[in-house]
Amino acid sequence: MGTRSRLTLACCLAGLLMAGSVQAHDDATEEGIASFYSDTFQGAPTASGEPFDQQALTAAHPSLPFGTKVLVTRPDTGQEVEVLINDRGPFVQGRVIDLSKHAARKLGMLHRGVAPVMITQVN
């Protein structure tokens, strides 16, 4: 089996492993579960180098470039918030974004801890 075939197979297997936990609709939209940062991260450096701020409208995403703005929508309530990606994560299977507490509050998810969301790139 050639290198290209092995790479294609590895990508397919990775996609199968993630099936059901994250759904990508197109290049700019995905669905999954959002969570939010613990207060213990306040002031800690993010992957982009910025200090984390619970009161900012920021988020962590596994792969979107830093500086990308996304609209996070709760399909079950219609609540939405626009956030700036400045960190990497979440590191829990099935979760697609980690939000600052301010963003989570705007989505009405503080008491639940997690919520189903749709993420749409706006830039």
pLDDT in tens, 44-69: 999 999 999 999 999 999 999 999 99
Whether residue 103 lies inside any domain: the answer is yes
- Which tens digit of pLDDT belongs to each residue from 83-118? 999 999 999 998 999 999 999 999 999 999 999 999
Confidence of residue 26 (pLDDT cuts 50, 70, 90): low
* Residue 44: partners with Cβ closer than 8 Å, 6 or more residues away: 51, 52
> Which residue segment(s) compose the domain that 31 sits in?
22-121
Whether residue 80 lies inside any domain: the answer is yes
Whether residue 4 lies inside any domain: the answer is no
Query: What total number of domains does the chain contain?
Result: 1
Whether residue 35 lies inside any domain: the answer is yes
Whether residue 75 lies inside any domain: the answer is yes
Whether residue 101 lies inside any domain: the answer is yes
Whether residue 57 lies inside any domain: the answer is yes
What CATH code is carried by the domain that includes residue 55? 2.40.40.10
